[in-house]
């Protein structure tokens, strides 16, 4: 499968979503990484589980200099499993369910890692709760027939991972603004939940 075919297949799987801008840039990177993996027989589900595995390792080593690298590896594994599924023709409902479940569990370990480096528990519970509701709302809307990607919010999973990365780096440099950075994330997460809620309401009402 060449890149053009890959992008077309991705678009169809996401409700004929437009492939442009940041989305296209990420898909191009994802394609380049996934292509060699498909040739050596790596499966999408193996990548999904690997993303969860590195998320757990991140929690265990949250206070070390390796934490930001472990986060990046975890995010990459999760981010390209869907692309690998397209390239290998191994799209399945079970794989999609496993991916969603692994995402939620992995993010839990990401948040627990932040608690280990000193971020306030109340802030983390609020962020995790609102992010989980946002993802559940999207999934439930999809189950009710809304097949479009909908809105791209300011707190999608890559953005959440970016905040966690910044927090891990800040901890390593002794920057005592972890709660303040997390509070900004919380505000963006609230805005994102509102955007997804409004989109779902308009489509389902």
Burial, 88: exposed, middle or buried (Cβ in 10 Å; 0-12, 13-18, 19+)?
A: middle
Looking at the structure of the chain, the number of domains it has is: 1
pLDDT grade for 14, boundaries at 50, 70 and 90: low
Give the tokens for residue 179. Answer: 């709660």
Separation CA 85–CA 72 (nearest Å): 20
Please give the residue range of the domain that contains residue 43: 3-204
User: What distance in Å separates the CA atoms of residue 78 and residue 75, rounded to the nearest whole number?
Assistant: 5
The CA distance from 27 to 131, in Å, is 23
Q: CATH number, domain at 10?
A: 1.20.120.1760
pLDDT, one tens digit per residue, over 92-135 is 888 888 998 999 999 999 999 999 999 999 999 999 999 999 99
Contact 99, 78 (CB under 8 A): yes
The pTM of the full predicted model, rounded to 2 decimals, is: 0.88
Q: Which of 142, 166, 169, 137 is nearest to 153 (CA)?
A: 137
């Amino acid at each position: 499968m060449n890149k053009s075919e890959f992008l077309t297949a991705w678009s169809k799987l996401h409700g004929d979503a437009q492939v442009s801008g940041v989305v296209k840039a990420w898909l191009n990177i994802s394609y380049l990484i996934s292509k060699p993996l498909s040739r050596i027989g790596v499966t999408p589900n193996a990548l999904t589980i690997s993303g969860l595995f590195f998320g757990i390792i991140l929690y265990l080593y949250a206070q070390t200099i390796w934490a930001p690298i472990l986060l990046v590896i975890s995010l990459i594994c999760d981010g390209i499993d869907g692309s690998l599924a397209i390239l290998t023709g191994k799209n399945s409902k079970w794989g999609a369910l496993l991916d969603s479940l692994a995402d939620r569990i992995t993010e839990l370990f990401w948040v627990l890692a932040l608690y280990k480096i000193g971020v306030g528990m109340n802030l983390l519970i609020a962020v995790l709760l609102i992010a989980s509701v946002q993802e559940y709302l999207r999934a439930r809307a999809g189950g009710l027939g809304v097949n479009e990607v909908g809105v791209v919010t300011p707190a999608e999973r890559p953005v959440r991972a970016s905040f966690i990365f910044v927090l891990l780096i800040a901890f390593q440099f002794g920057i005592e603004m972890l709660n303040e950075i997390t509070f900004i994330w919380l505000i963006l997460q609230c805005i994102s939940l509102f955007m997804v809620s409004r989109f779902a309401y308009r489509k389902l009402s």
